[in-house]
Structure 1
């Protein structure tokens, strides 16, 4: 049972790794040109936070998978919602940092936050531990959604068509 646990825990990091290649350049060139609120976390916090969040969400998906006996019919909705939120998560960085589409990134992160909430609701009867492991992720997404909104609002004339 170690291989599924390691694989499912590592899976979210794949999108994070891809996103870090996009972000690395843009954080030094494009991102500093944006107006940002004073309450935003420092740039150095993001990789640390995302590493923890990806690990927690990956392990929690393993707990749900294990409790449901794998990829069964019963797992379709809870793990399908998880997969959808993971895809929305992975799309956000290329939209925001890669394409510089602040409004589209905002739409993505709003859908992402809602999908994470729906995932947690579907997981609660299956594994409360898995649901609780997703709570910091949902909290961070609420902050990130507010930050995305403020950056879009304060930069839409200069930075987006």
Structure 2
């Protein structure tokens, strides 16, 4: 029957609408971060940074790709309707996204580099939990978050170096 719904994996128009919703959620977080840090390139340029700090122009493209991966990963888990750990996985996805949202205003908005470091360490921990939860539901979803985790760990090291040099 062509109109039936797979009880295990959401498919069809509803699934595509959900994909758009997941992507809108992550890019809304990006937009709020951008609003909170409209002068981020100038501020970043004014900071005493380590020699290994990337150029300011790199952050936009990297985060654009990572946010896409975060959205698709959440959607892949959401689609697995019958997965027993799906609810917990989606909850952790929301937690890490909220923590992601908080970092930019802390670092760029109010210049609280030490507090931003604590927050980004919590974000990295939440991403680790999210990856572990996602792995129980969808290996592909978990793997999509690995580059994000790597970048956040790198950003945490950069945050620490900036705090040390500018704090």
TM over 0.5: yes
1:76-116 CA distance string (max 9 Å, x none): 31111111100000000001000110001000000000100
Task: Look up the match of 1:13.
Answer: 27
Asked whether 1:52 is paired with 2:65, we answer yes
Matched residue pairs, number?
153
Asked whether 1:75 is paired with 2:105, we answer no
Instruction: Decide whether the 8 Å contact of 1:68 with 1:74 is kept in 2.
Output: no
Distance, in Å, in 2 between the alignment partners of 1:131 and 1:81 is 12
Structure with the bigger percentage of helix: 1
Task: Look up the match of 2:55.
Answer: 42
Q: Provide the TM-score with structure 2 as the length reference.
A: 0.86
Pairwise CA RMSD: 1.5
Q: Quote how far apart the aligned CAs of 1:142 are.
A: 1.1
In structure 2, list runs of 5 or more residues that go unmatched: 1-14
Q: Quote how far apart the aligned CAs of 1:74 are.
A: 4.4
Larger radius of gyration: 2
Distance, in Å, in 2 between the alignment partners of 1:48 and 1:4 is 24
**SS of the residue 2:39 aligns to:** helix
Of the candidates 97, 103, 124, which is equivalent to residue 92 of structure 1? 103
Instruction: Decide whether the 8 Å contact of 1:60 with 1:134 is kept in 2.
Output: yes
Q: Quote how far apart the aligned CAs of 1:5 are.
A: 1.0
Question: Measured at CA, do residues 14 and 46 of structure 1 come closer, stay the same or move farther in structure 2, by a change above 3 Å?
Answer: same
